[in-house]
Amino acid sequence: MSAEAVVLSQKTDVPQVLVLPLDPLNGPTAMVLPFVAKRIFDMASERMGELDPERLVRGVLARVFAGDRSILVLVFLDPTGKPVGHLVAEACSDGVKKWAFVSQTKADGNVGDAVRRAMLLVDEWAGSLTDLAPHGVPVTTMTMATHRDDAAWSRKYGLEKSRAVYTRAIGSPVGQSQ
């Protein structure tokens, strides 16, 4: 792990929240797996209306249990071991380029610099994926889905808005002025 991508904050004036990859078979994250699954389900239900939350959770957890390195779930744990946040990321490719897609990031209240540390852990994880197809091609970009159009994502985490995603119901009127 790099010097910057640490699981526990080096700052003393922030809540000490651990940020760890979800390991369903070992360590402290194995014990909180059902709670993390529920967090992912709840966030998908609340904020990802285009998806079936149950199918999403089953897919993510199946890949995590199978040891699929192209998926990463990070868990934020408070000092008592309670999950207070999570992040779900996936390595994606179009056959030429590779990118890391962060589909969920959620923290409960003040977690100090845990989100920043999670972003650094995503960078570290993404940088380790050069052996996944297309071989030898590095992950060059992080993309993130968020329900907020918030300048804090740019200011705090260095993300830039590159496009917007709009939705409409299939069969709804098209091109009619309102």
pLDDT at 176: 65
pLDDT truncated to tens, each residue of the chain (178 aa)? Answer: 454 566 778 888 888 999 999 999 999 999 999 999 999 999 999 988 888 999 999 999 999 999 999 999 999 999 999 999 999 999 999 989 999 999 999 999 999 999 999 999 999 999 999 888 888 889 989 999 877 667 777 788 888 887 777 777 778 888 766 5
Burial class (CB in 10 A: 0-12, 13-18, 19+), 36: buried
Domains annotated on the chain, with CATH: 18-146 (3.40.630.30)
Nearest to 32 by CA among 67, 71, 84, 109: 84
pLDDT at 3: 44
The CA-based angle 51-57-63, given to 5 degrees, is: 120
Which structure tokens are listed for 122? 């995503």
Query: What is this structure's pTM?
Result: 0.86
pLDDT at 1: 46
Amino acid identity, position 100:
A
pLDDT at 5: 61
pLDDT at 157: 83
CA dist 54 and 129 (Å) reads 28
